[in-house]
Structure 1
């Protein structure tokens, strides 16, 4: 199936604009992270998460007011949000201790506790360490594999693109105040692999074209390669994106943060494979012709055809006069 035929887009022409846009988003996310931080899920922060089902759904402010009056420390620093489908009339409250008594004394209506999750601070620290270790090890594995399979410049481009995807995703999680949970970590690792797979497809086409376009500049080879894989990139990313959007709207509250992370990661991963990873390779190798990138083996030259030698006839002896 071909969506794009014989496209000739100059992707490298817009590399500086793409890098500038990425820096704007990353810096804005870093500023918000430094000022407001990113909410940590119950798995990382520790504490208690209570899901209460009410006879009539109260507002979030009513729940906070009840906690302000009857819960030590008040309710302004607790996480209170509607949970699940609206027809279930459920509210999730995440605090450091049990809150059932505070809610009953606050007069927010009849309810029953339908779920409680308690995570100690030691377990939260362990899960934070393991999540960070899994991310770092995955990036190191990507670097080693692509350096072995392709070239070091390709490996650096893929890892920089993956780090770019992680930073952009964390920035959007900070903007929209999603909790950093195990589901989000799983989504981040998933988009890291997805983005790397897309990048490797482009790199493989670049390596093939290095053999057939040895007299062209590297920038021309990269643009041709990205255009040749553009249809495949759009189909693969578009299919995954539709699935993530369906999860976001119909997967329920539990999968909301996971689906949001996947949506941002798929868009960012596709963007970085086309603009960021290819730009890093072009920066690394410069503008030299591809003949200088001698990793592409030279085609075997055909042996010279030898002309048959003609036997010289012996000169006749001079006739005696």
Structure 2
């Protein structure tokens, strides 16, 4: 496998680059057509914790809750047997919904409403604004760092790799219409940091080789830089994916969005640093002279 990768590294970089561009187009189209399925953290809604028969499952609860409270209603396990968290939209004015006890008594003999809280729509809008501001601020700080550390041709590749990872995650949630809540948004911010680290490792190696091997073409240097960092990338990505898999298996529905976003982000971050992070500098004609010291004319 390693010999095949080394022999065909340039084909791998270009093929993954084409795949990345295709997935970006699909993701942007999905975001434009379908949009994100915002969770109640952003839209506002009701959160009710109930205690019912321990034998009931998530599917059985949704069968009676969705007809009464709408298709956006969701049910997550509260941690104890028979305890569930039910999220649903705030009822419109003039619309009277059945009580939670009345609804659940159809399938449970022991129904107890433990607590009920409300997230207003104004709070949800504020979270959307604050979340967008946090994302933009993060990208601007990353852009400033990349411009300071790398020449603009190399920095552009790293920045576009970051945007690629975020767009792919958002596109997946738009296509599947999984709920996009605060935990998922936290995963998007975590993906930015993870992907940035991967891109910097590859870009730093490219910069070193540009100075050390000035006669080689940028294509050859990019190939060797990816090969030199490939084992480190696989070890880092593999161990991180094991952690995310544990969250997905053991975290339950409450962490499903977070673990799903992280899983996609880690995979896309790994190949985007190999494809976009190296192909774009080639398109922009990155050369060794861009990292060589500028000669100063000492003549009077």
CA distance in 2 between partners of 1:159 and 1:275 (Å): 13
Give the superposed CA RMSD.
2.9
1:210-249 counterparts in 2 under 5 A? 210-249=210-249
Give me the TM-score of the superposition, normalised by structure 2: 0.84
Q: 1:22 to 1:86 in 2, by over 3 A?
A: farther
Structure 2: 5+ residue stretches without partners = 295-300
Which residue number corresponds to residue 290 of structure 2?
Answer: 294
Aligned to 2:22: 24
Q: 1:80 aligns with which of 55, 74, 78?
A: 74
Tell me, in whole angstroms, the C-alpha distance in 2 between the residues paired with 1:100 and 1:242: 44
Distance 1:229 1:117, change over 3 A: farther
CA pair 84-21 structure 1, distance change in 2 beyond 3 A = farther
Per the alignment, residue 142 of structure 1 pairs with: 142
Structure 2 equivalent of residue 39 of structure 1? 37
On the 8 A contact 2:64/2:103 being kept in 1, the answer is no
1:246 is displaced (CA, Å) by 0.5
Q: In the superposition, relative to structure 1, how do residues 121 and 15 fare at CA in structure 2: closer, same or farther (>3 Å)?
A: same
Aligned-partner SS, 2:180: coil
Q: Which residue of 2 aligns with 1:154?
A: 154
Q: What is residue 270 of structure 1 aligned with on the other side?
A: 270
Query: Residues 65 and 129 from structure 1, CA distance in 2 versus in 1: closer, same or farther, beyond 3 angstroms?
Result: same
Query: Gaps (5+ residues) in structure 1?
Result: 69-73, 299-321
Match of 1:283 in 2: 283
* Structure showing greater relative contact order (alpha-carbon pairs closer than 8 Å, 6 or more residues apart): 2
CA offsets, 1:204-230, max 9 Å, x none? 111111111100101101110110011
In structure 2, C-alpha distance between the alignment counterparts of 1:252 and 1:58, rounded to whole Å: 13
Change (3 A) 1:135 1:12: farther
Higher gyration radius (CA):
1
How many equivalent residue pairs? 288
TM-score by length of 1: 0.79
1:76 Cα shift? 3.8
What is residue 187 of structure 2 aligned with on the other side?
A: 187
Please give the per-residue CA displacement for 1:24-48, whole angstroms capped at 9, x wherever unaligned: 3333334444444322122211111
- Offset at residue 276 of structure 1 (A): 1.2
Which protein is richer in helix relative to its size?
A: 2
Contact 1:51 1:115 in 2 (8 A): yes
